Amino acid sequence: MELKAIIEAILFNSQKPLSPKELRDVFSQTAENSEEPFIKGLKKIKDEELIAALEVLVQEHEASGRTFRIVCVAGAWQFVSQPEFAPWIKTLVGEKSRPGRLSQPALETLAIIAYRQPITRAEIEQIRGVAVDGVMQTLLERGIVEQSGRAEVVGRPALYGTTPQFLEYFGLRSLEGLPAADELRKIPVKKPEALLTADAGLATVPPEQLALQEPAGRERVPTETEPPEPRATTPLEPPAESSPRA
């Protein structure tokens, strides 16, 4: 019995996408409940072996021209039907309701976060030239963006990055699958001053030792709402819809 055949059977019967760790857990638990030497020998299977077998399955399914294929989205593997069969599958199982499409301002902001993460809200506004409060709230509520930490600069502003839901929305295996956007990566951004420290062992100096000047009058940043604009081309575009295996 081949490893790839076992994995194929597991994925075919799974009700959700499975990551390599989840596949490992299946092999480990099966080995604990079996006395067969072959099954026990797979208890400590490595991620590299699983991924190699999965890649072989992907190639075999693509070469065979079947109506379904194996894909990896956000680090998890699953069977999906080919997009061209969607009309009949929707009739059979119904159409799953999906959140509304992102507006053009939201897509532009999301692209900046995806390519420059981790990034602060002020840095996003520097690149876009407008305030992004409303757009950021939308992305956070949709679960596509999350706070990933705080910058080690004065004020400790929040840092933002994308989530696994972002990868699922755009059908990406990982962030390495993002299309090239060198110009977006190279836009210069002025960084705030780093936190002042009394010595290497202190996070910050006591308030009485700080001599920070009051910031000069800050020019008002234009605000932006999110009208329902038609979508335009951006580095990020959701893929053609595929239907998970019913």
Torsion (CA) 167, 140, 126, 114 in degrees, nearest 10 = -10
Dump pLDDT digits (tens) for 127-178. Answer: 988 999 999 999 999 999 999 999 888 889 999 999 988 988 888 888 888 8
Identify which of 38-47, 177-186, 214-223 has the greatest average pLDDT. Answer: 38-47
Dump pLDDT digits (tens) for 127-138. Answer: 988 999 999 999
Report strand pairing: 158-162 vs 119-120: antiparallel
- Mean pLDDT, rounded, for 88-109: 83
pLDDT at position 231 = 45
Residues β-bridged to residue 120? 159
Dump pLDDT digits (tens) for 189-224. Answer: 666 665 544 444 444 444 444 444 444 544 555 555
- Type of residue found at 50: L
| Domains with residue ranges and CATH for the chain | 3-93 (1.10.10.10), 104-209 (1.10.10.10)
Contacts of 76 (CB under 8 A, 6+ apart): 16, 17, 18, 19, 22
The answer, as to whether pTM is greater than 0.85, is: no
